[in-house]
Every structure is written in structure tokens, then in C-alpha cells.
Chain A
Amino acid sequence: MHFGIAEIEPAGLTRLGTTVVSSFLASLVECVEALTVVLAVGSVRGWRSVLAGAATALALLAGIVAALGPALARIPLRRLAAVPFHGLQLVVGSLVLLFGLRWLRKAILRAAGLIPLHDEQAIFKKNAAALRAADADGIARWDKFAFSAAFNITMLEGTEVVFIVLAFGASGAGLLLPASLGAVAALLVVAALGVVLHRPLARVPENTLKFLVGVLLAALGTFWVGEGAGLAWPIPAPDSADLAIPFLVAAYLGLALLLVPICRSRRAN
């Protein structure tokens, strides 16, 4: 299996760092969204069934990662890299690009005020109100409704996290473990904050995170598609193609930061 980081060349450390940070930030956004609904259900219906629902979904998701992860890690990407048409890297790169550019586009539009920002507090209140309304007959000791609500949202957002982890894990040898660690760290941070604060994480700058993750994913996706298609980058040492990633990150970030004021001024006129 290609789980170790020791086998990664020095230039690969750029990709490793970008993968951990992207996975952590992208997962953080999804975990915050799940936490908002879990907190809303728990505060209205009680915690026992809610926590059981969330835990069941997490166990199921861990099982999916355990089943699919090692299979992906066995794919000999390094050997395939010598082949001109690198199908897997192209497919994964294209998916990461679609995902990353979608997030970046939305974050630019939100930053420019063209679409409203994601408001965790408002979502919390809306969910809590809906649950109170559904509470006409009182809450049983074993609350199926609370269990399924927590299970559904954890499964839904968790599936997105699993996809993020698998997409990063499939993009290079030794990247599955760092991507998983990034996602687990995000889950632990959000869960710990949820336990301590007992309210939605409204202060997490979700759009800034989406902006940054969009930039990182767009850069990684562009790099992987380029690698998969056998396209070269203007890097002095051809065996250090990974060094193109920081330049792509800077280029996407610069472009996005330029687009926000342009959109704002066009909106104002």
C-alpha cells in the first residue's frame, strides 16, 4: 500500500501540504454544516437519539472509507505516470476541478454580494423551529425522528467529506492518509467546538474558507489534469513539476481577488 509519506520525493511535499490543508478546510466547511443541524435537532428533541444517529452515520462512513481507501491506494499511480494518457489522474483531476471551480465561483459571487452568505445561525433557527412544530405529540425515549434527522445530515455531509478524501487520496501515491488526517482533524475540531460552545459555529468565516478551498482545489485539479494529459509546465527542473502548484494557487487567488471588486463595481453601476 502507498500510505507512507517517506516514499514521496521532496517536490511531492508541496502536493502533500496542499492536500492536507485542502482536505482539512473543505471538510471543516461540511462538518460545520452538519453540526448546525445536529445541534438544532439535539437542542429541541434531546441528545440521546441525535448522537446515536450521528455516530451510526459516522461508523458507516468510516466503513466505506476503510473498504474503498485501501483499494484506491493499491492503484499503482507512479507506474501509470509513465503512460502518456493517464486516465485516472485525468478523471480525478476533472472532478476536483469541477468541485473546486464551483466553490470558487460561488465564493466570488458571495464576496461580491451577488448571492447571500451562508448563515449558520439562520439555518439553526429554521431547523429548530421546524422541529418544535413537529413535536406536537411529545418526544419518546427513543426518538426515531431525531435519530433519522441526525443520521441523514451526517450521512449527507459526510459523503461529501468521503468524496473529498477519496478524490485527494486517488490523485497520488501516499496521499490517502494525509487527506484522511486532514478530514479527521476537521471533524475533531468541529465536534470539540460543538461540545464546548453548544451552538452553531456562526463565526466560522465559511465563505473565506470556501474561497481558499476553491483556489486550492482549482489549482490542484488543473495540475492533475495537466499531468494526466501529459502537458508540461514552465518549471526549470522537469522532475519537479509539483512546483507548478504554488504558481497555480497564486494565479487563481489573484484572479479571484480581482474579480470580487470588479463584480461589486458592476453591481453598483
Chain B
Amino acid sequence: MRWLKSVAREVFGLFVEDGSFAAAILAWLLLAEVALPRAGLYKRAAGPVLFAGLAAILVVSVLRYGRRRR
């Protein structure tokens, strides 16, 4: 039973290490899924906008971690 708990913890840890980072990604994906197709963007810009949001989340999270460590 103990290894089952460890496996469950490990599997959860595969996706979530920093809660706010994971939450920001999921929130952006939800927003992108709901809003981007209706945003009136040039159709082929939707994919790059999805990427830009994820890239911004990564940059903010990494820089914020670095600032906390100083």
C-alpha cells in the first residue's frame, strides 16, 4: 500500500511541483481554449498566441524564482 501512495505522489509530482506555475498554465490553457477561437484574431495567429502566453508564464516563473533566491 505504501508504494501505491508513493507512486500516486510521484505521478502527481510529474505535473505539479510549483503550484502557482501549474495553476497559471492551466488557467491560460482554459482561457486560450475558450477565448482564442472567439477573439477575432487573424486565424493563423491563434497558435502563436497560445505559445506566447505559455512562454510568458515560463519567463515570469523562472525570473520570480531567481528573485526569491537572491
Contacts and interface: CB of A to CB of B under 8 A. Distances in A.
Chain A interface, DSSP helix/strand/loop, else mixed: helix
A234 B43 CA distance: 9
B11 A255 contact: no
B54 A222 contact: yes
A105 B62 contact: yes
Nearest to B52: A251
Given A101-B25, A102-B22, A234 B47 contact: yes
B54 A218 contact: yes
Nearest to B33: A229
A130 B69 CA distance: 31
A51 to B, nearest CB: 18
Contacts, number: 122
A262 interface: yes
A257 interface: no
Given A94-B29, A263-B62, A266-B67, A160 B50 contact: no
Contacts of B25: 94, 97-98, 101
A222 B3 contact: no
Contact of B16 (A98, A233, A234): A98
Contacts of B15: 95, 98-99, 102
6 tightest A-B contacts by CB?
A231-B46, A233-B47, A98-B15, A234-B44, A229-B33, A226-B47
14 contacts: A97-B25, A101-B57, A105-B21, A109-B65, A152-B3, A155-B3, A156-B6, A222-B50, A222-B51, A229-B33, A231-B47, A235-B44, A259-B63, A266-B63
